[in-house]
Amino acid sequence: MTQTDGYLLDNRQTEAGQRFDAFATLFDPTTFRHIERFGIGSGWRCWEVGAGGTSVVSWLAKKVGPTGRVVATDIDTSWAASAARPPVEIRVHDVGAEEPPGESFDLVHARLVLVHVPDRERALRSMIKALRPGGRLLIEDADPALQPLLCPDEHGPEQQLANRLRHGFRKLLAERGADLSYGRKLPRLLREAGLREVEADAYFPVTSTACADLESATVRQIRDQLVTAGIATNEDIDRHLANVASGSMDLATAPMISAWGRK
């Protein structure tokens, strides 16, 4: 990511909300399962980094109750603003460039965030700094290089087109500084940062309605960039969106790797 290019998937676009809904359907169960294992309960203080939408923030608020605190931050908080009521506090914040919004958090969580942050090392240090001794860090990020295909079963021209567009999407992300193999590095990075009891797992949806919804919203959101970069024509994109809408393809996501540890 550069100062001129900016984030490829701008939260101000209409499709961002559709992407957040798809992410919630696909990944919330995994996220919630991990946080439940940490023993989250009444009074916990939580920092949700790069909140995007409201699903995780609202779930955390219910878990910590009126005596707890949930600080939700993002560079663009427009989609999360509706959750701004006690115990939730919404702040505009750049995790890769600013000091953390407090300390002594019981939980710090970021999902599908750090892969896009230019200064990932600083962001990770900031998140760990914000934890109380014994507090938990949970980072969940994609690893597109580990599984680069939209259609792992590439058996026809529709799947070939889908994978060509996915390759183009990954190229645009990489040009903006995204680390497409970041997810697999998380366990090592957490250990090197001094966290204890580090573990990790991965979730890899292969086909679902939410995968199709995510693909449709993503391609519509980056349509102009794909065309401008010469990756695809408008006709290619129209054909792909029609193929997605037909429900005849098995569409996958990159694996989401969840890594956690204790300060």
Calculate mean pLDDT across residues 53-65.
Answer: 95
Calculate mean pLDDT across residues 128-155.
Answer: 96
Does pLDDT of 5 surpass 90? Answer: no
pLDDT digits (tens, 9 = 90+) for 177-223: 999 999 999 999 999 999 999 999 999 999 999 999 999 999 999 99
Does pLDDT of 131 surpass 90? Answer: yes
Does pLDDT of 10 surpass 70? Answer: no
- CA dihedral sign, ordered 1, 120, 11, 103: negative
Beta strands across the sheet bearing 88-92: 88-92, 69-74, 45-49, 105-111, 131-142, 256-262, 196-203
Which pLDDT score, from 0 to 100, does residue 188 have?
A: 98
**pLDDT > 70 fraction of the chain, expressed in percent and rounded:** 95
Count of H-run helices and E-run strands, the chain: 8, 7
Calculate mean pLDDT across residues 233-246.
Answer: 98
- List the beta bridge partners of residue 139: 110, 259
Chain length of the chain:
263
State the pTM of this model: 0.93
**pLDDT > 90 fraction of the chain, expressed in percent and rounded:** 86
Q: How far apart are CA 227 and CA 212, in angstroms?
A: 21
